[in-house]
Chain A
Amino acid sequence: KQEVTQIPAALSVPEGENLVLNCSFTDSAIYNLQWFRQDPGKGLTSLLLIQSSQREQTSGRLNASLDKSSGRSTLYIAASQPGDSATYLCAVRVLTSGTYKYIFGTGTRLKVLA
Chain B
Amino acid sequence: NAGVTQTPKFQVLKTGQSMTLQCAQDMNHEYMSWYRQDPGMGLRLIHYSVGAGITDQGEVPNGYNVSRSTTEDFPLRLLSAAPSQTSVYFCASGRSGQPQHFGDGTRLSIL
Taking Cβ atoms with an 8 Å cutoff, the residues of A that contact B are 4, 31-32, 34, 36, 41-46, 49, 51, 89, 91, 99-102, 104-107
Contact = CB atoms under 8 A, between A and B. Distances in A.
A32 B45 contact: no
A75 B1 CA distance: 29
B88 to A, nearest CB: 9
Contacts of A44: 43, 90, 92, 100, 102
Interface residues of B, number: 26
A105 B43 CA distance: 8
B96 A104 contact: no
A43 B43 contact: no
Contacts of B101: 46
A108 to B, nearest CB: 12
B27 interface: no
B45 A51 contact: no
Contacts of B33: 102
Interface string B83-111: 00000001010001111111111000000
A101 B99 contact: no
B26 interface: no
A42 B105 contact: yes
Contacts of A41: 105
Contacts of B35: 104
A43 B102 contact: yes
Contacts of A46: 99-101
B98 A49 contact: yes
**Ordered nearest first, which 3 A-B pairs have the shortest CB separation?**
A46-B99, A43-B102, A106-B42
A105 B41 CA distance: 8
A24 to B, nearest CB: 14
B42 A89 contact: yes
A99 B50 contact: yes
Nearest to A100: B96
A62 B90 CA distance: 25
A40 B86 CA distance: 18
B75 interface: no
Contacts of B43: 44, 89, 91, 104
